Amino acid sequence: MDRRPISEMPELPQTEQKLTDTFTAPGIRVLIVDDNVINRKVARGFLKNYAFDLTEAENGPEAIELVRNIRYDIIFMDHMMPGMDGIEAAEIIRRDCGENGTTPVMVALTANAMEGMREHFLKCGFQDFISKPLDRKELNQLLLRWIPEKHRKQKELPEEARPLDPSEFKIDGLDINAAMEYFSGDEDSFVDLLELYCMDGKRKTALLHELVDSDILHYQIEVHGLKSASANIGAMEVSAMARAQENAAAQGDSAFITEQFPVLMAEYETLLANIEQFLEGRRQEDDGAEKLPGLPIQELAEQTEAALEELKHFRSRNCAERVEGMLLHELPEEVGKRLLQIREQLRLYEDDNAEDLLSQLLSILKKEEEVK
């Protein structure tokens, strides 16, 4: 890897850059660090097109432990996270993780691309930064700067990678055309993103109500995350309101926060309700599709145990595929309900919770198997 700071890197001719001028670089290890599950999913959606070996962390301490044991080529580090922020995490990685910490190219992810931030990040151990929401062309430009040509293989975007059809996503409060600027996946992936936004919203709404009068610094970080997560799905009004709240928190303007917080929450909660209504309509369409025949209790237990083993060995994607496979079948009501809960936790990257739920389901199924 070229370890020069971005200030010393030559500028690539803008005229040569096209959205389809992508490449793959198998074997390049990339770590994505961001406390917001929506932002991580969007970043993964962009980066998987390059065939990188991708890992995620949801906070600074988790990232530090990963870097102690694995040598990454590039680390994308969120600037603003609760607890330990990205700057502190980057400094610890550079200082305390040996060659694993000094080798990677460190890229700051920031939703605050203000004047002077570039120099600030360079002083704190970063070599580059990119604004959130991510832009496909800017990301491609950045990766061309830092991935040596010898590791790059030219690749055209696959034909099936078509943009979203705005007519399929008529949701009040969403600008799908704006979302298409930031989202690189297909229709099903965008539906998954909306589901994640709603699931995260259950946590976020309660937390914002709790923090607004008790912990202004943590509140600032949470509305900062809401700002970029909302922009990622095209919820530009909520994103703008969250930005205003973040700025007010940074300036200590409690009067503005108190006055405008109810307005933000009303808009946010209405948006969540509108998205949930849309998703429920999609679920009803899916429920109308013919299910596969039910599985014997013994086979359900075997599939559940296999999914649990996958998760215990940190193969969450394989676990999720097994859970999805079981959900294609006619299921007892309680089993179906529990599997949906497990799927939700896996989508939120709450693997520990999913593991507990799988263990509980396996125990129930084995007891039923014994009775029969």
pLDDT digits (tens, 9 = 90+) for 129-152: 898 888 888 899 999 999 999 999
How far apart (Å, rounded) are the C-alpha atoms in residues 154 and 278? 39
DSSP 141: H
Is 36 within a domain? yes
Looking at the fold, whether 23 and 138 belong to one and the same domain comes out as: yes
Is 242 within a domain? yes
Q: What is the mean pLDDT of residues 75-103?
A: 93
Looking at the fold, whether 98 and 11 belong to one and the same domain comes out as: yes
Residues 19-39 have pLDDT tens digits of 445 799 999 999 999 998 888
Is 233 within a domain? yes
Higher per-residue pLDDT: 41 or 61:
61
Domain ends where: 288, 305, 328? 288
Tally of CB atoms within 10 A around 213: 12
The CATH number given to whatever domain includes residue 55 is: 3.40.50.2300
Find the helix packing angle between 187-211 and 254-288, rounded to 10°.
140
Looking at the fold, whether 37 and 113 belong to one and the same domain comes out as: yes
Looking at the fold, whether 21 and 144 belong to one and the same domain comes out as: yes
pLDDT band at 210 (very low <50, low <70, confident <90, very high): very high
> For the chain, how big is the Rg over CA atoms in Å?
22
Higher per-residue pLDDT: 160 or 6:
160
Looking at the fold, whether 270 and 346 belong to one and the same domain comes out as: no
Q: Provide the number of structural domains found in the chain.
A: 3
Looking at the fold, whether 307 and 251 belong to one and the same domain comes out as: no
Domain ends where: 135, 155, 175? 155
Q: What is the mean pLDDT of residues 199-226?
A: 92
Residues 269-291 have pLDDT tens digits of 999 999 999 998 887 776 556 78
Looking at the fold, whether 97 and 147 belong to one and the same domain comes out as: yes
Looking at the fold, whether 228 and 281 belong to one and the same domain comes out as: yes
Burial string for 11-49 (b: 16+ CB within 10 Å, else e) reads: eeeeeeeeeeebbebeebebbbbbbbbbbbbbbbbbbeb
Looking at the fold, whether 201 and 274 belong to one and the same domain comes out as: yes
**């920031």: which residue's tokens?**
110
Structural domain range at position 200: 166-288
Looking at the fold, whether 94 and 203 belong to one and the same domain comes out as: no
Distance of CA 361 to the CA centre of its chain: 27
Is 142 within a domain? yes
Burial label, 224 (beta-carbon count in 10 A; 0-12, 13-18, 19+): buried
Is 320 within a domain? yes
Look at residue 188 and tell me whether its pLDDT is greater than 60.
Answer: yes
Is 219 within a domain? yes
What pLDDT score does 59 carry? Answer: 94
The CATH number given to whatever domain includes residue 180 is: 1.20.120.160
How far apart (Å, rounded) are the C-alpha atoms in residues 275 and 267? 12
Looking at the fold, whether 215 and 325 belong to one and the same domain comes out as: no
Look at residue 116 and tell me whether its pLDDT is greater than 90.
Answer: no
- pTM, full prediction: 0.70
pLDDT band at 171 (very low <50, low <70, confident <90, very high): very high
β-bridge pairing 74-78 and 105-110:
parallel
Is 1 within a domain? no
